[in-house]
């Protein structure tokens, strides 16, 4: 599904959060959003998701500009947002439709994929931070959404779990050709996953730079190519920082 | 009255019973009404009235056909336009009097001046109090009337929170017996009788059956006259009160005049005037007309010889 | 809980802890019951003592022993069970209807702004009308059968359930609602799958409050031509100046009310197992 | 809100939006009032119509016009204001005392397990005792002065506030309590700085419920030797079989009850500005 | 303040979360805890803090083994845990004692330090994820605690804000000689900050390895020395992973 933002701005009670964001995402593209904390990345994702309809400008999803939630969109929020009265299994099943047995089977697969096999019956309050985040990831991926909005999905995970789940994400993406918008602070992650990286700048956030990564997937983590991109991105961010401090 | 005719017969007759109407208790206990009407396939339904105002609400809302009330209550309701008629007097009770504690020093109505007297506004004891004061030429404003429910008035008296109380049986009998209360002013004529009222609609439709209900009531009344001891026991058991209390209560009931007539008319008119002064009945209501509308002795006259 | 790969020692430890925990729980429960009895028992002792000393004369406030013997008398004749059972039946039925009505209307009002603007003001206005005030109106509308009594109790139950539910719904964390929105739940699904569970704690308070009010409304209900029931008993006691009957009915109200509340409390604890509550000191 | 570095355009836009928002808010408010009036107005019209048609005879249910003229009559003699003001005074005082007692006991029970085990059972038992049942006891203990009336109302207010507060406290997120613990707050500070704010939504429901019950308990309170007040008016109406008076008192109860609730609702909205509630559709 | 754990184990309803943790932290030392998600890092911190008293074994803080909270301990939880009814400023003031004006001044300094100047009056619901985390950091540091327990404090921050706050942490540490236990998934962070890194392994978690870093502070990010440590740590974690997967 294609996704286009045109001059999107969002103001909260008089204070501007993002300004004039224009961005066009091709079907099946993975776009990364990078930027300092508070520059409006989550705000943009919320606008795309349709949960927030207070923005100005236009967001077009497959030709539709209505401010509404599309049920083909999956959203991993910045917090896990598990339903505390449901077990891990039921939380993952939550968004699924269809036969009960099918749903269970599918959910269990994804629970295993995120490394939580055997934890199906735990309640959210019994989970560690990273486990809760993984349940949220499973919940979003299990519905195989056509548009995936990810808000720092792997931030609370250790290096290896993170890599594993990044690969899981790529698997899902490959199978369902999802369009992905990924917010992350991990530049390695961005270079490993994204076709394009959009760097936001300032407060209110505006688009500063777009970097297109042409390297073929599967990419090699820590490859020289990616390292070059990383250095480039770091510099952009750093510049922004320097500017915003003065 | 049977000449007016009406439809054949009701499916059921709804009677109320009340602990202030011993006759109704006897009637219900022995099932005489059921006996009489069963043959015709008419059901009898009994409803408990916990006070005149409930009985009148039941009558007004067509929940009962016959309801037992104090005479004054029936009049007040009539003045508000209730379609009811009084067709029978189940007793002339001396159920209210003025009560005080035995060491209070109150002996006459004069002594009440400046004192606190408990009464339930709008009910028989209240009317009794006003009439008594009026009879002595004391203005009602000279005593402090505290509005309390009957039972609460009794407790307030025994715990010395008021100096006197316009009492009502059986509370009064119990206070007399157990707490040493003294009835320092009694006047049976200032009581307003126990009225058995019928809904006008019922009386119009089934006049014959009004007579027949009066007939069974008569049977109960006579039984009480013949068996005062048993009647007291029955009252005690039904109402859950002490036999001694029940005896006193029954002694203060005169069951001799069942037919509504001029005595009753006059007593009620007097009460009506007092109530009018107290703003309970509308100032421009014509009391005499109302009373004439309310009291209809013809059924009883026809039935009782 | 977690069915993890159980080594033998692990299983053993689990079994062991379970047993220990069960014992501990039992001991805990008796302690709770004992602690809870302290005040009532003290109260009864004090009261009996003062009665015997003649501080409260019997025609005002009979001694607890006298009250209990009155209750036992009623129990002996079987009248007690009839009073209790008819009242419990009425409260139960009224509670059911009142709760259902409150859930329906509460969900509507909690969920739709328009519905709130239309219905809430009048409901809030009705909420302050005393039970006694309804009596004549109910007699008028519904007569004096069981239905009017049950409806009266339902009215009492309705308001707290409604109020708590609506406020519970309004207090549901936006974050969770958004999860539902992302899955395009229909409003009804939203209510059933997110809003009701999330506002369950609030709902239970409402239900418990409502049941309490149901018991209170019994008196008004049984003014409407009842000849049995605890409310009837109370009014009878007041009309015949029988303090034993009054106090007996009060004790019965307290006891049965507490028992039914206890049932709800158990249900509450069961349904809210998932809450991350704070453990008290 | 945010005092950020305001460029001129930014300031302009903010001013502009503020004005627009204020206008919008005003328009919104009138709409809300209008929507809320629909049902009551319809009710009155229907009722008047049915009364004029004779469906409800006046001795059963007088027409609203008759009731309003009765109220106006009372207003003309000044009696109305006396009835209202004395009752409002009683409810207010009872509400105050009841709420204070509930906050004290509720905090204790909510915070200390022991206190819960000791006090909660008996409080829950008392909760089901109908207001009318208390009347003789209160007269006995406290006489028939204002104090007994106010206490009676306080009793009514106490229970819902207590129940909601305790449940609110028990429902406070463990995570926030732990924050307080890390700073070694004393129990009192815990209550004041974390538990009370966190259970404020619950508390407000309790307070609103309690005020409603306060209004209900007025009748029982004014059975105790009152010669003025709305409850007195109601009972007088019942004793003197005057449907106008009964209905007038009902309408006054509804109207004044709703007004006081509305005040609380405003206070609630003000105090809970920080809540991340879900916006309704 | 010295801190010693002796054979600490924690079991939740029959399931063991950590087992036999023994660790001794010198006054003024910064110890890092690393391990896969769900291996019990937060559980250990909670036990040290005194919030959790359900553990077995012994924890000694300055010679005191009582299971209680010490008011000289500061805890940054894995979630921000801001009090929603307080503004940013009041949240930071929350733990401070003393004169109101002093508290305000101090709090404002730290708010500026975490880059939230001008945001003092916002409520938590108006903050972005990273901003909330920074408020939580300010709240914990402002009381200058003698023991600092940090549970992934910088996980939601962009690379540069993260570096800045790491330096802030070091400043505080230098000034007050706090004893710090830091849970993190960021190995660069661990090597940059810690005197010693403890690697947990398995589920239930046990101590696998301790690595002592002797390099002088201020360290240079991305120095060769640190890179060596990083490689070493990665290997350990990887091994653990490999073992736990089979
Ligand atoms: N309250 C609880 N009840 C039951 N189990 C719990 C509870 N808290 C934690 N656990 C379990 O203990 C284990 C360790 O949890 P902990 O939060 O310490 O992990 P962690 O190392 O902090 O992980 P992460 O990096 O994901 O935050 C997990 O398996 C978790 O399921
Ligand atoms: N509901 C709200 N009300 C007021 N201001 C808000 C609200 N939500 C976000 N903001 C403001 O909008 C700005 C951007 O927030 P946003 O959550 O989009 O940041 P972010 O880029 O996701 O940051 P982070 O990386 O820290 O998550 C922030 O300054 C924040 O204070
Ligand atoms: Mg964000
Ligand atoms: Mg953790």
Task: Name chain B contacts of D141, Cβ cutoff 8 Å.
Answer: none
Cβ proximity of E182 and E214 under 8 Å: no
Chain mean pLDDT for chain E: 89
Q: From first to last of the 281 residues of chain C, give the pLDDT tens digit.
A: 333 333 444 445 455 556 666 677 777 788 888 888 889 899 999 989 988 888 777 777 888 888 999 899 889 988 899 999 999 999 999 999 999 999 999 988 887 888 888 998 999 999 989 988 888 888 888 888 889 899 999 999 999 999 999 888 888 888 898 999 898 888 788 888 988 888 888 889 899 999 999 998 998 898 887 888 998 888 888 877 778 888 899 999 999 999 999 999 899 888 887 777 655 55
Q: Are strands A30-34 and A179-183 parallel, antiparallel or unpaired?
A: parallel
Asked if D18 and A14 come within 8 Å (Cβ–Cβ), the reply is yes
For A72-113, the pLDDT digits (tens) are 899 999 999 999 999 999 999 998 888 999 999 999 999 999
Among E18, E41, E77, E152, the mutation site with the greatest number of ligand 1 atoms within 8 A of its Cβ is E41
Q: Is there a domain that residue C7 lies in?
A: no
From C56, C84, C106, the end of a domain falls on: C56
**Which residue in chain E is spatially nearest to A116 when comparing CA positions?**
E38
Is B76 at the interface with chain D, CB within 8 A?
A: yes
Interface test with E, best of D176, D183, D187, D278 (most E CBs within 10 A): D183
Pocket of ligand 2, beta carbon within 6 A: A 12-13, 17, 35, 37-43, 78; E 122, 125-131
Percentage of chain E modeled with pLDDT above 70: 97
- E-state strands within D82-130: none
Residues C74, C185: one domain? Answer: yes
Chains that touch E (3 or more CB pairs under 8 A): A, C, D
Q: Which residue has the higher pLDDT, C142 or E24?
A: E24
**Which residue in chain E is spatially nearest to C11 when comparing CA positions?**
E14
Q: Which residue has the higher pLDDT, A169 or C226?
A: A169
Domain that holds residue C76: 60-279
* pLDDT at position D21 over 70: no
Q: Which residues, listed in sequence order, are joined to residue E10 by a DSSP beta bridge?
A: E18
Q: Which atom number of ligand 2 is nearest to the Cα of residue E158?
A: 25
Q: Which residues, listed in sequence order, are joined to residue A192 by a DSSP beta bridge?
A: none
Q: What is residue D19's predicted lDDT score, i.e. its pLDDT?
A: 67
Q: Is there a domain that residue C121 lies in?
A: yes
The top-scoring range by mean pLDDT among B220-234, D147-161, D226-240 is D147-161
Q: What is residue D16's predicted lDDT score, i.e. its pLDDT?
A: 58
Q: What is residue D15's predicted lDDT score, i.e. its pLDDT?
A: 56
Q: How far apart are CA B154 and CA C241, in angstroms?
A: 8
Q: Is there a domain that residue C6 lies in?
A: no
Residues D106, D227: one domain? Answer: yes
DSSP characters for D75-90? HHHTHHHHHHHHHHHH
Reference E165, options E146, E145, E182; nearest CA is: E182
What is the Å distance from ligand 1's center to A135 Cα?
Answer: 14
Q: What is residue C10's predicted lDDT score, i.e. its pLDDT?
A: 43
Q: Is there a domain that residue C161 lies in?
A: yes
Q: What is residue C201's predicted lDDT score, i.e. its pLDDT?
A: 87
Q: How far apart are CA E206 and CA E200, in angstroms?
A: 5
For D164-195, the pLDDT digits (tens) are 998 888 888 888 989 998 988 887 888 888 88
Asked if E13 and C13 come within 8 Å (Cβ–Cβ), the reply is no
Q: How far apart are CA A64 and CA B288, in angstroms?
A: 83
Report residue E94 as tokens.
Answer: 């929350």
Q: Judge A/D contact: 3 or more CB pairs < 8 A.
A: yes
Confidence of residue D45 (pLDDT cuts 50, 70, 90): very high
| CB nearest E94 (choices: D1, D4, D183) | D183
Residues C46, C99: one domain? Answer: no
Q: Is D29 left (phi over 0), alpha (psi -120 to 50) or beta?
A: alpha
Residue whose structure tokens are 């009407």: B37
From D37, D56, D75, the end of a domain falls on: D56
Q: How far is A15 from chain D (nearest CA, A)?
A: 6
Asked if C5 and A118 come within 8 Å (Cβ–Cβ), the reply is yes
Which residues on chain C place their C-beta less than 8 Å from a C-beta of chain B?
57-60, 135-136, 139-140, 143-144, 223, 225-227, 232, 235-236, 238-242, 245
Q: Judge C/B contact: 3 or more CB pairs < 8 A.
A: yes
Q: Is there a domain that residue C117 lies in?
A: yes
Percentage of chain A modeled with pLDDT above 70: 97
Percentage of chain C modeled with pLDDT above 90: 30
Interface test with C, best of B47, B156, B167 (most C CBs within 10 A): B47
Averages of pLDDT over each 10 residues, chain B, 305 residues: 56 88 89 86 86 84 88 86 88 87 82 86 84 85 84 83 86 82 84 88 88 88 88 85 84 84 86 82 85 85 77
Is B276 at the interface with chain D, CB within 8 A?
A: no
Q: Whose CA is nearest to atom 23 of ligand 2?
A: A38
Residues D76, D25: one domain? Answer: no
Q: What is residue A195's predicted lDDT score, i.e. its pLDDT?
A: 93
Neighbours of A66 (CB within 10 A): 11
Residues D41, D126: one domain? Answer: no
**Could you give the dihedral angle defined by the CA atoms of residues C196, C199, C202 and C204, in that order, rounded to the nearest 10 degrees?**
30
What is the Å distance from ligand 2's center to B142 Cα?
Answer: 76
What one-character DSSP code corresponds to residue E28? T
- Domain count of the fold of chain D: 2
Q: How far apart are CA D197 and CA E85, in angstroms?
A: 7
Q: Whose CA is nearest to atom 26 of ligand 2?
A: E130
The half-sphere exposure of A91 on its side-chain side, counting CA atoms within 13 A, is 32
Q: What is residue D105's predicted lDDT score, i.e. its pLDDT?
A: 92
Reference B46, options B30, D240, B60, B240; nearest CA is: B30
Let me know how long chain A is.
246
Residues D183, D250: one domain? Answer: yes
Is B204 at the interface with chain D, CB within 8 A?
A: no
Q: How far apart are CA E133 and CA B289, in angstroms?
A: 86
Is A185 at the interface with chain C, CB within 8 A?
A: no
Q: Which atom number of ligand 1 is nearest to the Cα of residue E203?
A: 29
* pLDDT at position D97 over 80: yes
Reference B272, options B135, B71, B129; nearest CA is: B71
What is the three-state SS of C191-233?
HHHHHHHHCHHHHHHHHHHHHHHHHHHHHHHHCCCCCCCHHHH
Asked if E129 and A42 come within 8 Å (Cβ–Cβ), the reply is yes
Q: How far apart are CA C239 and CA B172, in angstroms?
A: 11
Cβ proximity of D81 and D65 under 8 Å: no
Percentage of chain E modeled with pLDDT above 90: 64
Q: Which ligand number lies closest to the CA of residue A157?
A: 1
* pLDDT at position E196 over 90: yes
Reference E185, options E25, E39, E20; nearest CA is: E39
Is C182 at the interface with chain D, CB within 8 A?
A: no
Q: How far apart are CA B303 and CA B301, in angstroms?
A: 6
* pLDDT at position A137 over 90: yes
Task: Name chain E contacts of D4, Cβ cutoff 8 Å.
Answer: 118
Q: Is there a domain that residue D12 lies in?
A: no
Is B28 at the interface with chain C, CB within 8 A?
A: no
Q: What is residue D149's predicted lDDT score, i.e. its pLDDT?
A: 92
Q: Which atom number of ligand 2 is nearest to the Cα of residue A41?
A: 21
What is the Å distance from ligand 3's center to A35 Cα?
Answer: 10
| A149 membership: H or E segment, kind and range | strand A147-151
Asked if B175 and C241 come within 8 Å (Cβ–Cβ), the reply is yes
Asked if C182 and A69 come within 8 Å (Cβ–Cβ), the reply is yes
Q: What is residue D113's predicted lDDT score, i.e. its pLDDT?
A: 83
Question: CA-CA distances (angstroms) from residue C192 to A135, B208, D260?
Answer: 22, 61, 33
Q: What is residue D7's predicted lDDT score, i.e. its pLDDT?
A: 40
Asked if D239 and B159 come within 8 Å (Cβ–Cβ), the reply is no
* pLDDT at position D41 over 80: yes
Asked if E11 and C17 come within 8 Å (Cβ–Cβ), the reply is yes
* Mean pLDDT to the nearest integer, E230-246: 68
Residues C103, C235: one domain? Answer: yes
Residues D43, D173: one domain? Answer: no
Q: Mark which residues 108-167 of B lie under 8 Å from C by CB.
A: 149-152, 154-155, 158-159
Q: Is there a domain that residue D252 lies in?
A: yes
* pLDDT at position D5 over 60: no
ipTM: 0.84
For E137-189, the pLDDT digits (tens) are 999 999 988 999 999 999 989 888 899 999 999 999 999 999 999 999 999 99
For C199-212, the pLDDT digits (tens) are 888 889 899 999 99
Reference D117, options C280, C260, C44; nearest CA is: C280
Q: Which residue has the higher pLDDT, D244 or E108?
A: E108
Residues D127, D173: one domain? Answer: yes
Residues D67, D118: one domain? Answer: yes
Residue B167 backbone phi and psi in degrees, to 5? -90, 170
What is the Å distance from ligand 3's center to A153 Cα?
Answer: 11
Residues C86, C170: one domain? Answer: yes
Pocket of ligand 1, beta carbon within 6 A: A 122, 125-131; E 12-13, 17, 35, 37-43, 78
Q: Judge C/E contact: 3 or more CB pairs < 8 A.
A: yes
CATH at residue C164: 1.10.3720.10
Global pTM value: 0.86
Cβ proximity of B58 and B158 under 8 Å: no
Q: What is residue E239's predicted lDDT score, i.e. its pLDDT?
A: 65
Neighbours of A13 (CB within 10 A): 12
* pLDDT at position D200 over 80: yes
Reference E184, options E46, E26, E35, E48; nearest CA is: E35
Reference B178, options B95, B248, B250, B94; nearest CA is: B248
Cis peptide bond N-terminal to A218, omega within 30: yes
From D9, D30, D56, the end of a domain falls on: D56
Reference E78, options C178, A133, A134; nearest CA is: A133
Q: Is there a domain that residue C179 lies in?
A: yes
Is E95 at the interface with chain D, CB within 8 A?
A: yes
Residues D76, D36: one domain? Answer: no
Chain mean pLDDT for chain D: 84
Q: Judge B/E contact: 3 or more CB pairs < 8 A.
A: no
Cβ proximity of B196 and B68 under 8 Å: yes
For A194-211, the pLDDT digits (tens) are 999 999 988 888 998 999
Report residue C46 as tokens.
Answer: 């004090």
Cβ proximity of A50 and A67 under 8 Å: yes
* Mean pLDDT to the nearest integer, E33-47: 92
Q: What is residue C223's predicted lDDT score, i.e. its pLDDT?
A: 85
* Mean pLDDT to the nearest integer, D44-57: 87
DSSP characters for D128-174? TS-HHHHHHHHHHHHTTSHHHHHHHHHHHHHHHHHHHHHHHHHTS-H
């Amino acid at each position: 599904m294609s996704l286009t933002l045109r001059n999107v701005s969002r103001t909260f009670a008089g204070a501007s959060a993002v300004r004039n964001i224009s961005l066009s995402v091709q079907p099946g593209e993975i776009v990364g959003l990078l930027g300092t904390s508070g520059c409006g990345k989550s705000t943009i994702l919320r606008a795309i998701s349709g949960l927030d309809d207070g923005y100005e400008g236009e967001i077009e999803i497959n030709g539709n500009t209505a401010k509404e939630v599309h049920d083909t969109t999956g959203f991993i929020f910045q917090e896990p947002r598990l339903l505390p009265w449901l077990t891990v299994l039921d939380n993952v099943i939550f968004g699924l439709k269809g036969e009960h047995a099918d749903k269970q089977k599918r959910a269990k697969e994804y629970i295993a994929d995120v490394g939580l096999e055997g934890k199906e019956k735990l309640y959210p309050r019994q989970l560690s931070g990273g486990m809760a985040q993984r349940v949220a990831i499973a919940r979003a991926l299990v519905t195989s959404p056509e548009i995936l909005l990810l808000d720092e999905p792997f931030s609370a995970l250790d290096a290896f779990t993170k890599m594993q789940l990044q690969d899981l994400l790529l698997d899902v993406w490959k199978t369902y050709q999802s369009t992905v918008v990924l917010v992350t602070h991990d530049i390695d992650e961005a270079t490993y996953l994204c076709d394009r990286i959009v760097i936001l700048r300032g407060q209110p956030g505006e688009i500063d730079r777009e970097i297109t990564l042409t390297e073929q997937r599967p990419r090699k983590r820590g490859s020289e190519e990616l390292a070059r991109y990383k250095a480039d991105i770091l510099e952009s961010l750093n510049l922004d920082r320097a500017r915003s401090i003065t | 009255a049977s000449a007016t005719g009406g439809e054949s017969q009701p499916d059921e007759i709804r009677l109320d019973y009340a602990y202030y109407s011993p006759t109704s208790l006897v009637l219900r206990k022995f099932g005489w009404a059921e006996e009489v009407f069963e043959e015709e396939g008419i059901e009898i339904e009994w409803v408990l009235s916990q006070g005149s105002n409930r009985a009148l609400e039941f009558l007004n809302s067509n929940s009962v056909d016959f309801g037992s009330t104090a005479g004054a209550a029936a009049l007040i309701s009539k003045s508000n336009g209730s379609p009811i008629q009084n067709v029978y007097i189940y007793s002339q009770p001396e159920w209210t009097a003025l009560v005080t504690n035995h060491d209070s020093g109150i002996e006459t109505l004069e002594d009440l001046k400046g004192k606190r007297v408990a009464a339930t506004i709008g009910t028989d004891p209240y009317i009794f109090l006003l009439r008594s004061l009026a009879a002595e030429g004391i203005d009602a404003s000279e005593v402090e009337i505290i509005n309390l429910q009957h039972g609460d008035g009794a407790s307030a008296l025994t715990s010395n929170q008021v100096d006197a109380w316009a009492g009502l049986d059986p509370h009064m009998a119990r206070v007399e017996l157990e707490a040493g209360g003294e009835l320092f002013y009694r006047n049976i004529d200032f009581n307003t009788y126990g009225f058995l009222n019928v809904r006008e609609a019922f009386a119009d439709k089934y006049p014959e059956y009004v007579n027949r209900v009066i007939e069974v009531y008569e049977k109960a009344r006579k039984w009480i006259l013949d068996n005062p001891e048993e009647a007291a026991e029955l009252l005690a058991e039904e109402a859950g009160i002490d036999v001694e209390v029940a005896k006193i209560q029954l002694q203060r009931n005169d069951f001799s005049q069942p037919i509504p007539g001029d005595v009753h008319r006059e007593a009620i008119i007097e009460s009506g005037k007092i109530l009018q002064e107290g703003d309970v009945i509308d100032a421009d209501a014509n009391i005499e007309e109302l009373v004439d509308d309310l009291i209809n002795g013809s059924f009883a006259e026809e039935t009782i010889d | 809980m977690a069915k993890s790969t159980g080594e033998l020692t692990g299983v053993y430890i689990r079994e062991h802890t379970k047993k220990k925990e069960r014992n501990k729980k039992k001991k805990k429960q008796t302690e709770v019951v004992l602690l809870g009895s302290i005040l009532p028992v003290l109260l009864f002792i004090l009261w009996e003592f003062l009665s015997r000393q003649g501080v409260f004369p019997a025609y005002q406030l009979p001694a607890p022993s006298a009250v209990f013997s009155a209750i036992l008398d009623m129990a002996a004749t079987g009248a007690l069970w009839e009073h209790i059972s008819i009242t419990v039946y009425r409260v139960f039925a009224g509670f059911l209807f009142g709760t259902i009505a409150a859930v329906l209307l509460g969900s509507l009002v909690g969920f739709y702004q328009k519905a709130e603007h239309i219905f809430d003001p009048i409901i809030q206005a009705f909420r302050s009308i005393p039970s006694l005030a309804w009596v004549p109106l109910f007699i008028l509308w519904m007569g004096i059968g069981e239905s009017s009594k049950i409806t009266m109790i339902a009215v009492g139950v309705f308001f707290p359930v409604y109020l708590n539910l609506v406020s519970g719904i309004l207090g549901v964390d936006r974050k969770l609602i958004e999860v539902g929105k992302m899955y395009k739940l229909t409003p009804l699904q939203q209510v059933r799958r997110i809003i009701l569970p999330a506002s369950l704690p609030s709902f239970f308070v409402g239900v418990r409050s409502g049941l309490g009010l149901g018991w209170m409304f019994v008196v008004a209900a049984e003014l409407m031509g009842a000849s049995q029931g605890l409310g009837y008993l109370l009014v009878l006691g007041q009309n015949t100046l029988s303090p034993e009957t009054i106090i007996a009915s009060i004790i019965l109200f307290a006891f049965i009310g507490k028992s039914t509340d206890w049932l709800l409390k158990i249900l509450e604890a069961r349904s809210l197992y998932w809450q991350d509550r704070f453990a008290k000191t």
